[in-house]
Amino acid sequence: MKKTISLLAVTTLICNYAFSQTPTLQEVTSQGNITSKPIILNSTFNSNPNNTGGDAIYNSIDFLSGFNIPIASIQSFVSNGHFQDRGGLKFYTNSNGTLTPKLTIEDGTGNVGLGTTTPAYKLDINGSAIAHGELISSIDDLGGGGGRITLVNPGKTEAGAASTWRIFNMGGSYNNSLQFWAYDNAGCGSGLCENKFTISDNGNVGVGTMNPAYKMDVNGTGRFGIAKIGSGIEQGFYQDASNGAYRSLNNGDNGFYFQDNGGANTSMFIGLFGPFSGRVGIGTIRPQSELAVKGTITSMKVKVTQTGWPDYVFDSSYQLPSLPQIETFIHQNKHLPEVPSATEVKTNGLDLGDNQAILLKKIEELTLYIIQQNKQIDQQNKQINQQNTQLILQKKQMEQIEGRLQKLETR
């Protein structure tokens, strides 16, 4: 009986000793033990936390190196120590011996911050980011902006400078389209707030318009270094106007046609290459020269550059045709020498430069004829004057003879 009592006493002492020792978390995990119960960290207020901003730490999980140097920490916090303010979790890493916040998750707002302890959005990143996948902005708003991307440059502060650009997936009254909007710091109402570029869901593109009616619709002046239209022959561009549409076609004649809407009338043709290369036709689509006009030309002034101008007519070596020669040529050909006939002009047209030179040559020849005739007239006048002088003398002599005869008869 005494042995039994003694054994019970020893067993009781061992059990009491065993239950009086609480194992540490390290001892439990080292033994490979697991638990299905939550691990609860008792709140401990820390009024002098390691982090900035006056946040109060209530719980933390610290990760230490083998030398008990903190290398990372997860801390729960309440901003400014007030439970009614925002709280959450902060993840720290060691940076040059100091725990630096890297990730913040706010409890009340649900905002997450990377590189910032005060995230203003659901995901607020202070720094560059890269996504190896798809980024989706989804906003169910048919009457307004829909999904959007915002690009901000705080350095653009002057009026009219787009400090903010937004790209919207628009719908409803804004047209089903992707739109680019620009805003300055004054914003809508008094500042810059307007659409700049639109890509409609139907593929039309607009500059300065939210409702492009064509594949490229520019509301304003456009400039192109090189504009290539189409890849085949029957390609062109159109302009809507109150009196019809005008178009230019690069057709099989290797040129541009400017036609009315139906293509029945061609007002102008410009040859690009081939038989009409470099030629322009107005009222004709087969220009036979660099500028062919089927109709009347009205101009304030026409300047023609010409070589071989007939100043040589006044050279002493020039052989001026005699008037009898000219008379014979006219009698045979019914036009002046070197001047094209009516048949030639009707068949080949008239070269204005050459014709002006020929006409000037004829005027210069006429001038020489007049000079010759003037000399002849001067010579004849001298002869007439001499003859008149002789007649006067002869008259005086006759009068003298008549006087003498009368005296002889009266004796």
d(CA 276, CA 164): 53
For the chain, the average pLDDT equals: 80
- Shared domain for 210 and 249, answered yes or no, is no
pLDDT beyond 60 at 82? no
DSSP 17-49: HHHH-PPPHHHHHHTT---SSPP-PPP--BSS-
In-domain check, residue 326: yes
Q: Could you tell me which residue, 214 or 12, shows the higher pLDDT?
A: 214
In-domain check, residue 5: no
DSSP type of residue 67: T
- Shared domain for 328 and 363, answered yes or no, is yes
DSSP type of residue 369: H
Q: Are 179 and 168 in contact (CB under 8 A)?
A: yes
pLDDT band at 280 (very low <50, low <70, confident <90, very high): very high
Question: Tens digit of pLDDT for each residue in 334-345?
Answer: 999 999 999 999
pLDDT band at 229 (very low <50, low <70, confident <90, very high): low
How many helices (H) and strands (E) are present in the chain, helices listed first? 5, 18
In-domain check, residue 139: no
| Antiparallel, parallel or unpaired: β 266-271 and 177-183 | unpaired
Question: Which residue range is the domain that position 241 belongs to?
Answer: 235-293
As for how many domains the chain has, the answer is: 4
Cα angle: 164, vertex 167, 169; to 5 degrees: 150
If you average pLDDT over residues 203-230, what whole number do you get?
Answer: 83
- Shared domain for 193 and 248, answered yes or no, is no
Tokens (6 digits) for 160: 């009219």
pLDDT beyond 70 at 396? yes
If you average pLDDT over residues 356-373, what whole number do you get?
Answer: 93
The whole-number pLDDT of residue 51 equals 45
The whole-number pLDDT of residue 49 equals 47
Tokens (6 digits) for 210: 């939210």
Q: Are 176 and 143 in contact (CB under 8 A)?
A: no
The whole-number pLDDT of residue 52 equals 45
Distance from the Cα of residue 238 to its chain's centroid? 19
In-domain check, residue 31: no
pLDDT beyond 90 at 16? no
Name the one residue in this structure whose structure tokens are 């052989």.
Answer: 319
pLDDT beyond 70 at 38? no
Q: Are 285 and 271 in contact (CB under 8 A)?
A: no
- CA 112, 113, 118, 120 torsion: positive or negative? negative
Say what the pTM is. 0.51
Q: Are 50 and 74 in contact (CB under 8 A)?
A: no
- Shared domain for 161 and 213, answered yes or no, is yes
Question: Tens digit of pLDDT for each residue in 366-394?
Answer: 999 999 999 999 999 999 999 999 999 99
- Shared domain for 189 and 163, answered yes or no, is yes
In-domain check, residue 287: yes
The whole-number pLDDT of residue 320 equals 93
HSE, side-chain direction, 13 A CA sphere, residue 340: 15
Question: Tens digit of pLDDT for each residue in 97-146?
Answer: 788 888 999 888 889 999 898 899 999 999 998 989 988 888 888 766 78
Q: Could you tell me which residue, 164 or 84, shows the higher pLDDT?
A: 164
- Shared domain for 121 and 162, answered yes or no, is no
In-domain check, residue 173: yes
In-domain check, residue 49: no
In-domain check, residue 404: no
The whole-number pLDDT of residue 195 equals 93
- Shared domain for 281 and 332, answered yes or no, is no
pLDDT beyond 60 at 240? no
